[in-house]
Structure 1
Amino acid sequence: MPINRDQVILVDEDDRPTGTADKMTAHRQGLLHRAFSVMLVCRDEGGAVKVLLQKRAAGKYHSAGLWSNSCCSHPIPGENTHAAAVERLQQELGIADPVSLSPMGFCRYRAELDSGLTENELDHVFVGTVPLDLTLRPNLLEVSETMWFDAECLAAALAADPCRFTAWLDRVWSICRKHPLLAR
């Protein structure tokens, strides 16, 4: 039987599975479902910490053209969330070798989006440390652009111009800040 990549895992407030739904149905009806967000980080030649942001492709079903964390998606029923995050990095960003990800916790958020959709997610957050010269081959159906952004400036940028960023990035960033490379 083929794997249906358009299914999401519905969960309760404690992340216990309660069923499954089609991804678009979950977003149209605002059903609580499991998701993951990954932030890749590195140090540049001068020692400054950088985070990899992606600009979502124009064809995305929501939040198109907005800057977001390095990678985000939903595990499918029966799939381990950590393994799904590693695989999705390869699919979205074309990273050849698996990245070691540190689980940082999760955030619960609900946001009304463009095109009448609602994000209602329990979002597992991971951080991966990578080299600055990491080779990226973004899937242009998912990602229109990538940028290494100064970690010290991200919170200020989110506050100054939130309309440039996805609805979940500020919450994801606050959890990522617990990572030893990002903690201040």
Structure 2
Amino acid sequence: MTTEEHVVLVDGDGNRIGTAPKTLVHGAETPLHLAFSSYVFNHDGSVLLTRRADHKITWPSVWTNSCCGHPLPDEPLDQAVTRRLSYELGLSVERVDLMLPSFAYRAVMANGVVEHELCPVYRVVVDAREAPNPDEVGETRWMPWKEFADGVRNGLLSVSPWCREQVPLLEELGSDPLSWEPAPRDELPPAARV
């Protein structure tokens, strides 16, 4: 018997206020909850993009950043990033770097389903090729960071709403994603400082 996965619910100040089953939090009244986004780069500075699987509840079939997910209750965010990259993309990573510690967003799909997340953003650099899990990922594509960022900023690339908001903030860190300076861990919201 498997245990249902829970997400961490947070208040507007990023404090943990409880947990809820993951299957129940994405609807018309989605509560603010803890999540993460990650951007995987190779040593040439290209970013790995993923097209979300067709059966995803939120933004199915939409292109987005490399991997998103939710930490389990009491799981450090960097470990959640590592776990999900392994599960979704077959990537084994040694290090993840915190880039945007307090990113948050709320987005509404055409069908009324809401995504509402406190979603720190991470950078990961890999040597290996991805092996997408079809339960999570419909397709992958590598793209030079500048081409991708320009395309998102100029509206030439259609991406998830969180990715569209994150890219300009990442661009502010500099033109070379491999040289971005990581943010201090103590800038994470309280609920993420496990």
TM-score, normalised with respect to structure 1: 0.85
Indicate if the aligned counterparts of 1:9 and 1:76 stay in contact, CA closer than 8 A: yes
Of 152, 160, 166, which residue of structure 2 is paired with 1:166? Answer: 160
Extract unaligned runs of 5+ from structure 2. 181-194
List gaps (5 residues or longer) in structure 1. Answer: none
- Report whether the alignment pairs 1:106 with 2:102: yes
RMSD (CA atoms):
2.1
Q: What SS class does the counterpart of residue 72 from structure 2 fall into?
A: coil
Conserved 8 A contact 1:38-1:126: yes
Output the amino acid matched with 1:21.
A
Q: Check whether the contact 1:38–1:72 (CA below 8 A) recurs between aligned residues.
A: yes
The C-alpha deviation readout for 1:61-120, integer Å capped at 9, x for no partner, is: 12111111110011121222111111100000011x234100112311111024321011
Residue of structure 2 in register with 1:82 after alignment:
78
Higher strand share: 1
Write the letter of the residue equivalent to 1:176: L
> 1: CA distance between counterparts of 2:87 and 2:162?
21
Aligned counterparts of 2:120 and 2:109: Cα–Cα separation in 1: 20
Contact 1:127-1:179 at 8 Å conserved across structures = no
Runs of 4+ in 1 over 3 A off after TM superposition: 174-177
Corresponding residue pairs, total: 175
